[in-house]
Amino acid sequence: MNTNKKINDIFKQAQKMQEKMEKIQKDISMTNITGKSGVNLVTIIMNGNYNCKCVKINNELWNENNKQLLQDLIASAINNAVMQITKMQKKKLSLESSFINPVNK
pLDDT in tens, 36-48: 998 889 999 999 9
Residues 6+ apart with CB under 8 A from 52: 44, 45, 46, 78, 81
Q: What is the reported pLDDT for 56? A: 93
Span 83-105, mean pLDDT?
A: 73
Total domain count for the chain? Answer: 1
Instruction: Name the residue among 39, 36, 46, 41 with its Cα closest to residue 86.
Output: 46
The CATH number of residue 74's host domain is: 3.30.1310.10
In the predicted model, what is the mean pLDDT of residues 79-95? 89
CB 76 within 8 A of CB 42: yes
Residue 6 lies in a domain: no
Per-residue pLDDT tens digits for 47-72: 999 999 999 999 888 877 888 899 99
- How far is CA 23 from each of CA 12, 28, 34, 96, rounded to the nearest angstrom? 17, 9, 22, 11
Q: Which domain holds residue 50?
A: 29-97
Is residue 83 in a domain? Answer: yes
H-helix or E-strand spanning residue 76: helix 67-97
| C-alpha span between 73 and 41 (Å, rounded) | 8
Domain annotation covers residue 78: yes
For residue 47, the surrounding DSSP H or E stretch is strand 42-47
